[in-house]
Amino acid sequence: MLSVTRRQFLQFSAVSAAGLGASSLVTLGFSSTQVLAEVRQYKLERTTETRNTCPYCSVGCGLLMYSLGDKAKNAPAEIIHIEGDPDHPVNRGTLCPKGAGLLDFVHSPNRLKYPEYRAPGSDKFVRISWDEAFDRIARLMKN
């Protein structure tokens, strides 16, 4: 049997009731933004919020990224949720489809996390250190 503490039950009940209340309040003409802002603190309670800018286009929409984990406790931080920044003057909390798919980009297995180099005439990339990559870039920019 699933053991649920009284505190967990009350937290789940409050979030569920607020979500249902928000959807029914919209039909009555109330602002869903205010209601959802109250629920937001429970949705992402143990996460770290980081403000950033969407990298996809030149519009510069504001993002809120939420991560779990604490590097001080040897738990790698992992981004679990991304949403538009409601305080940002450009997008005011909304994201286009590219921005909404940013979480998939972050967790993609094809995303490069370190520099790679392909020698002339080769068809394979070789992992190199960051120092090697920066030295090569600096050397090529000077010449």
Q: What pLDDT, in 10s, does the model give residues 47-89? A: 788 888 888 888 888 998 888 876 666 777 788 888 888 888 8
Q: Is this structure's pTM higher than 0.75?
A: no
Q: What pLDDT, in 10s, does the model give residues 5-51? A: 777 777 777 766 665 555 555 566 666 666 666 666 666 677 788 88
Residue partners of 97: CB distance under 8 A and separation at least 6: none
Q: CATH classification of 46-111 is 3.40.50.150, yes or no?
A: no
Q: What pLDDT, in 10s, does the model give residues 103-121? A: 888 888 888 889 999 999 9
Per-residue pLDDT, 139: 94
Nearest Cα to 51, choosing from 86, 77, 80? Answer: 86
Domain locations in the chain as residue ranges: 1-43, 46-111, 113-143
